[in-house]
Structure 1
Amino acid sequence: MTTLSLQEARQVVAETLREAGANDAMATATARALVLAEAQGLGSHGLGRVAQYATHLRNGRVNGDAVPTLRREKGAAALIDAHEGLAFAACEMAVAEAIARARDFGIAIAGVTGSHHCGVVVDHLRAVADAGMVGLGFANSPAAMPAAGGRHPIFGTNPVAAVFPRRRALPLMIDLSLSEAARGKVMVAARQGKPIPLGWAVDRNGQPTTDAQAALEGSMLPIGAASSPKGAMLALVVELLVTALIGAQFGFEASSFFEDAGNRPRIGQAFIVIDPGALAGSASYLDRVEVLVAEMLRDDGVRLPGARREDLRSRAEAEGIEVPDALLAQWRA
């Protein structure tokens, strides 16, 4: 193991991505996001993605020269084109657009089209909380889950995220995929040769499996799939929000992120930003949030969403992060 400061980790990740073909802005934004995820203990969306992104750059699945642009705008709505590059710089641009427009209109939406894997969705919303606003984030991904009653993968794991700022406290940060477990966790288990819990996925024949590799070749199960179609219905909602509305590809039209070769995914993300001052008022909003938080904390064992991640991030900022030597060697290769 090698211990790196967060700044050192960002530098080596950015260098790896630049060597693979990413322009400087793309490499820098991606490195910042991946190291932040790793610092929060989210390895499935952190440094474990570096080699995958680098391979996609080298194999042409990502346009390393892409610079995101504002493709269309109308009032409180904006559409950002990622031009088939890595998603992070485009998502940063979209969130900035949504914040600026929410200040003018009270609410705004910014979509990202022609995109790629966007990492931890709620991390894109940190700037929203810093601006004192409420943020919602959505993304699709290559097909991994069937429709309700179906067998073949159509929807991605389609994460949903939200951020709610608080008064003199860390924001509430909510982030979840609509599969029973994030597919990145299965990726990590497959890489380590470990089993996954029963109920996470089925194999390519539709049979329940604990084999992580068989799960990657099969389908993830939506939240609550054993008893209800609700998870699949939510995945449908997100799929339509980030594709039909903004012109991105459906999950079933995109090659898996876990394939070295394949098409450019051209998937989508969407961010909604709401100014509390346009509704009940910022002071009233902040007061009411604290009333709810206090009620939640009356029960022992309640942990506010995002608190554990922030504790780990603070520790990583002070102590650095441990990177397996094999991973560093993989990047250098």
Structure 2
Amino acid sequence: MTVTIQAAEMTEVLRQVFALHGFTDADAATLARVHTESTLYGVNSHGIDRVAKFIDYIGRGLVDTDARAARVATFGSIERYDGHSGPGVLNALHCTDRAITLAREHGMGLVALRNTNHWMRGGTYGWRTAAAGCIGILFTNTTHNMPAWGGRDPRTGNNPLIIAIPRAGGHVVLDMALSQFSFGGLNAHRLRGEELPFPGGWDAQGQLTTTPADIIASERALPIGYWKGSALSMVLDMLATLLSAGNSTYRIGQRGHETDVSQVFLCIDPARFHDRDLQQRLLDEIVDYNHSGPPLREGQRTYYPGERALQNMQHNLAHGMAVSMEVWREVTDLAQRTTI
């Protein structure tokens, strides 16, 4: 069962939730905006659906509402930050903006962040870099929730990867976990009582399954591209860990909670090439070429990364967002009480 919620209502309810649970008015408003925007883009799993878990982590002392990312080292256009177990969204926004500033100063800027928490929808930061006119390559490691290819137990993370490219006709923003379905996406299907359209992982008996609850329970998600996704997961974990001098997927998994993760924010300023018109023509050429291909089936079409997210946002702004009734009841209850 779902309910339809308008953006303004969701933003206000979430602002109340975050203000009641330890955040300043300004930070509560920022968190409310980010979670609402994620839901507007159609990513309920990392927007409204994640609010209760985030508040639970705060109540258990796993997220420090007062802590913020602080710079610990500078190497020219490369900087390291420590998130001090602070809110992942606020830390990630700060580091994204810092990487944009470094890119404008040097042509390219990289910020590596350690000891931070879940950044919710990674695409938030890709859209932010693109809106600033910068190319963004961003990624985070996670707890272990996929088996390395050929293995049985979860040893690798579904480490989301975001690549954003500014484009006048609509920014290109790739936002994907390295599992066939993110765990937030699996839970969204579970809440709707839906099977997955394709196998998304293994159940407790080691069989590929389309039942999201079985995959969540086993923590054995299927990597994208099978062995290729498994290898990419390991490499991104290595890069995030080395560049930030932070926790690896292995160490995060030992903690028992997905906290104090490592992230990388790389920005490139394409204005340095002084050929913006050419850049846009080349991007449009690629988009148009893919759009013009014949569909596999009647009524279908192809999309560039981020195109459907924009369509979702426009539709949801006009008609409201479909939200799980169970989730909305949980969130509105949080708006009425503080943590104990």
**TM-score, scaled to structure 1:** 0.88
- Aligned to 2:328, what secondary structure does the other structure show? helix
Offset at residue 98 of structure 1 (A): 0.8
Matched, 1:282 2:276: yes
8 Å Cα contact 1:186-1:212 kept in structure 2: yes
Partner in structure 2 of residue 267 of structure 1 = 261
Q: Distance in 2 between matches of 1:255 and 1:306?
A: 31
- Give distance in 2, aligned partners of 1:280 and 1:102: 15
Provide the rounded CA distance (Å) in 2 between the counterparts of 1:205 and 1:140: 27
| Alignment correspondent of 1:96 | 97
Q: Which amino acid aligns with 1:184?
A: G
Distance 1:204 1:250 in 2: 25
Aligned to 2:52: 51
Which position in structure 2 is the counterpart of 1:245? Answer: 243
Q: Within 5 Å, give how 1:25-44 maps onto structure 2.
A: 25-44=26-45
- Report how many aligned residue pairs link the two structures: 325
Shift of 1:49: 0.6
RMSD of aligned C-alpha atoms? 2.4
1:281-320 alignment, distance < 5 Å: 281-300=275-294, 301-320=301-320
Distance 1:244 1:193 in 2: 40
User: Please, which of 227, 230, 241 is the counterpart of residue 232 of structure 1?
Assistant: 230
List gaps (5 residues or longer) in structure 1.
none
User: What one-letter code is carried by the residue in structure 1 that aligns with 2:119?
Assistant: C
Identity in percent: 26
Which sits farther off after the overlay, 142-151 or 87-96?
A: 142-151
Q: Which moved more, 1:177-186 or 1:2-11?
A: 2-11
Higher mean C-alpha deviation, range 296-305 or range 190-199? 190-199
The separation in 2 between residues aligned to 1:193 and 1:322, in whole angstroms, is 15
Instruction: Name the SS for the 1:138 alignment partner.
Output: strand
Q: Is the 8 A contact 1:114 1:265 kept in 2?
A: yes
The equivalences for 1:186-205 within 5 A come to 186-197=186-197, 199-205=199-205
Q: Conserved in 2, the CA contact under 8 Å of 1:142 and 1:252?
A: yes
More displaced 10-residue stretch of structure 1: 19-28 or 287-296: 19-28
Aligned counterpart, 1:146: 147
Aligned to 2:177: 177
Within-5 A mapping of 1:59-98: 59-98=60-99
1:145/1:221 contact within 8 Å kept: yes
Alpha-carbon distance, 1:308 to partner: 1.5
Decide whether the 8 Å contact of 1:78 with 1:94 is kept in 2.
no
Partner secondary structure for residue 152 of structure 2: coil
Comparing 136-145 with 15-24, which one deviates more in the overlay? 15-24
Call closer, same or farther: CA 1:25–1:60 in 2, change over 3 Å.
farther
Instruction: Work out whether 1:215 is the aligned partner of 2:223.
Output: no
Cα drift, residue 2 of structure 1: 5.3
Q: Separation in 1 of the partners of 2:196 and 2:315?
A: 28
Partner AA of 1:239 in structure 2: D
TM score, norm. by length of structure 2: 0.87
CA contact (8 A) 2:143 2:258 kept: no
1:263 Cα deviation (Å)?
4.3
Residues of 2 paired with 1:160 and 1:16: CA distance? 29
**Equivalent residue runs for 1:15-26 within 5 Å:** 15-26=16-27
Letter paired with 1:293: V
Distance 2:93 2:139 in 1: 14
Change (3 A) 1:211 1:3: closer
Change (3 A) 1:45 1:263: closer
Larger CA deviation: 90-99 vs 26-35 = 26-35
Amino acid aligned to 2:304: L
The answer as to whether partners of 2:179 and 2:221 remain within 8 angstroms in 1 is yes
The Cα offsets for residues 108-159 of structure 1, whole Å up to 9 and x where unpaired, read as 1112211111122122122221222211111111111122322211221111
Q: Distance in 1 between matches of 2:28 and 2:36?
A: 12
> Offset of 1:38 from its aligned partner?
0.8
User: Structure 1 stretch 134-143 or stretch 67-76: which is displaced more?
Assistant: 67-76
2:7 corresponds in structure 1 to: 6
Contact 2:118–2:258 (Cα < 8 Å) also in 1: no
> How far off is 1:213 after superposition?
2.5
What residue ranges of structure 2 are gaps of 5+ in the alignment? 295-300, 335-340
Q: Is the 8 A contact 1:253 1:265 kept in 2?
A: no
In structure 1, C-alpha distance between the alignment counterparts of 2:202 and 2:114, rounded to whole Å: 30
Query: 1:240–1:170: structure 2 CA closer, same or farther, 3 Å change rule?
Result: same
CA distance in 2, matches of 1:126, 1:48: 20
Q: Which moved more, 1:44-53 or 1:126-135?
A: 126-135
The answer on whether the counterparts of 1:80 and 1:93 sit within 8 Å (CA) in structure 2 is no
Q: Is the 8 A contact 1:126 1:163 kept in 2?
A: yes
Q: Give secondary structure in 1 for the equivalent of 2:151.
A: coil
Distance 1:153 1:25, change over 3 A: farther
* Greater alpha carbon shift after TM alignment, 276-285 vs 63-72: 276-285
